[in-house]
Amino acid sequence: MAYQLDEEEQLILATVKKFLEQEVAPVAAELEHRNEYPTEIVERMKEINLFGANVPEEYGGLELSYTLFAMIFEEISRVWMGLAGILGTHTVLCDVLARFGTPEQKQRFLPLLARGEKRGAICLSEPQAGTDLQAIRTTAERRADNYFINGSKMWITNGRRGEMLLILAKTDKEATPVYTGMSAFIAEKGEPGLTISRDIDKLGYKSLETCELLFEEFRVPAENLIGGTEGAGFKQVMTGLEAERLNVAARGLGIARAAFEEAIRYAQQRRTFGKPICEHQTIQIKLAEMATKIEASRLLIYSAAEKKDQGERCDLEAGMAKLFATETAQECALEAMRILGGNGYAKDFPVERYYRDAPLLIIGGGTNELQRLIIARNLLKKYALNPV
Ligand SMILES: Cc1cc2nc3c(=O)[nH]c(=O)nc-3n(C[C@H](O)[C@H](O)[C@H](O)COP(=O)(O)OP(=O)(O)OC[C@H]3O[C@@H](n4cnc5c(N)ncnc54)[C@H](O)[C@@H]3O)c2cc1C
């Protein structure tokens, strides 16, 4: 890999690791089992500027390279994937604003977001549309200097505590192709017409809320239309999701590593038939396969991040990284559970948490079925036969 962290980047990563080790690891399991929001930890995340991770420096952010950004998501998820969720949607909102916001929008919102004073949620999915985002029904109708949003959004992580919302809505229901009638808005909470209908009870990804939101004549000033042009929202959001695929892939790597580390430690301590279980060949094969897939995930992620750092599109590489690293997370969590035997199933050990958190990664950030389609589409483009 060509990318080497410079001194400042090494310091940032070391600070994050120290914070995770000293302040998060000791309490993660307890908070997660109680499904309790980590308020104090989030305050500390603000202090070490994590909410400004991908905000340009001129707006008070750290403007990290994608490589370091991915490393930070990996380290956080190695300790507690839920915490990465508090940061994840926020960074997508920051990414979309930094790329496509008008100068006035950037000036107004990015410094607040970078400080974590306001935190972001992304409102894309709806009860009847997740993968097929062009099928959303939420509308934004312009009247004088405002848009009025009507519709229902589903699965909105940070929907209750996030104060700024990235909303994807249709401004032209008749447009063809459909995506050209879709627009993205940055909305601040506080206006009437927004109801947080419920918090969804989830298998894992505990301690942070994922909600259903109802918009009824919710007012958003016209100046909050991202980029100031109607019809650009779908492309803006899709570009933001490319960076999200990298963060989700890195989360997969973090969980896979955590599961592997727990398994290899346990395998050297636990004895059966007169020897540590790591001396049984079946266990050795599991450890070898886990470690190999983890290393492959790492290489895929950092090669995709490096490409993005060079300013290139990385749909294909990010798709491959997301697919492979998150499937690896799922496999490693289950293999670690097998290696720990009964203890893998007990809440006294962290493996059951990895096992509950990993599947979200194969669904969120674009399902892995969708990643395969993206990969294949890009391959067909790359290897297109010349027309005769
Ligand atoms: C815990 C959690 C947090 C989330 N947070 C957010 C959030 O903050 N903001 C947000 O907007 N959304 C969020 N989501 C929603 C998430 O993005 C969607 O769940 C995801 O995109 C899949 O959409 P869906 O659930 O509607 O499944 P569907 O789109 O209904 O898909 C169902 C199945 O069909 C497959 N499928 C669909 N189309 C195709 C196709 N063309 N070819 C092959 N297979 C296909 C899918 O891969 C999947 O296996 C969250 C979801 C979860 C579970």
Share the mean pLDDT of the chain: 96
Burial of 311 (C-beta count, 10 Å sphere; 0-12/13-18/19+): exposed
- Tell me the per-residue pLDDT of 113-146, one tens digit each, with 9 for 90 and over: 999 999 999 999 999 999 999 999 999 999 999 9
Say if residue 48's pLDDT is above 60.
Answer: yes
Say if residue 13's pLDDT is above 90.
Answer: yes
User: Angle at CA 103, nearest 5°, toward 58 and 230?
Assistant: 140
Ligand 1, atom 44: closest residue by C-alpha: 369
Among the listed ranges 47-56, 246-255, 349-358, 378-387, which one has the minimum average pLDDT value? 378-387
Q: Which helix (H) or strand (E) holds 172?
A: none
Number of Cβ atoms within 10 Å of the Cβ of 107: 12
| Mean pLDDT in residue range 18-38 | 98
Say if residue 387's pLDDT is above 80.
Answer: no
Active site residue 63: no
pLDDT at position 324: 98
pLDDT at position 240: 87
Write down the pTM of the prediction.
Answer: 0.96
Ligand 1 atom index nearest CA of 88: 8
Distance CA 133, CA 122 (A): 13
Same fold, 7-114 and 235-382: no
Number of Cβ atoms within 10 Å of the Cβ of 287: 17
- Tell me the per-residue pLDDT of 74-111, one tens digit each, with 9 for 90 and over: 999 999 999 999 999 999 999 999 999 999 999 999 99
**Annotation: CATH topology of 7-114:** Butyryl-Coa Dehydrogenase, subunit A; domain 1 (1.10.540)
pLDDT at position 388: 54
The answer to whether the beta carbons of residues 241 and 366 sit under 8 Å apart is yes
pLDDT at position 242: 83
Going by C-alpha positions, the residue among 127, 200, 130, 221 that lies closest to residue 158 is 200
Enumerate the β-bridge partners of residue 149: 140, 218
The rounded Cα 201 to chain-centroid distance in angstroms is 19
Give ligand 1 pocket residues (Cβ under 6 A): 89, 122-125, 130-132, 155-157, 202, 205, 210, 360, 363-364, 367, 369-370, 373
Own/partner long-range contacts of 203-206 (Cβ < 8 Å, ≥24 apart):
203/356, 203/359, 203/360, 204/81, 204/82, 204/353, 204/355, 204/356, 204/357, 204/358, 204/359, 204/360, 205/81, 205/82, 205/85, 205/157, 205/356, 205/357, 205/360, 206/32, 206/33, 206/35, 206/82, 206/356
Residue type, 29: A
**Helices 39-47, 81-100: inter-axial angle, 10-degree rounding:** 40
pLDDT at position 3: 74
pLDDT at position 312: 87
Choose the residue to mutate in 87, 123, 125, 185 for probing ligand 1, maximizing ligand atoms within 8 Å of C-beta: 125
Reading the block at residue 276, the tokens are 């540590």
pLDDT at position 86: 97
| Mean pLDDT in residue range 229-237 | 97
pLDDT at position 6: 95
- Tell me the per-residue pLDDT of 174-219, one tens digit each, with 9 for 90 and over: 999 999 999 999 999 999 999 999 999 999 999 999 999 999 999 9
Please tell me the CATH code under which domain 120-231 is placed.
2.40.110.10
The answer to whether the beta carbons of residues 49 and 288 sit under 8 Å apart is no
| Domain boundaries, given as residue ranges, for the chain | 7-114, 120-231, 235-382
Please tell me the CATH code under which domain 235-382 is placed.
1.20.140.10
Q: Is the pLDDT higher at 313 or at 26? A: 26
Distance (Å) from CA 366 to ligand 1 centroid: 6
Q: Read off φ and ψ for residue 188, nearest 5 degrees.
A: -100, 140
State the residue for tokens 């990664």.
Answer: 361
Ligand 1 atom index nearest CA of 122: 9
3-class SS of residue 178? helix
Choose the residue to mutate in 155, 237, 361 for probing ligand 1, maximizing ligand atoms within 8 Å of C-beta: 155
Distance CA 90, CA 106 (A): 15
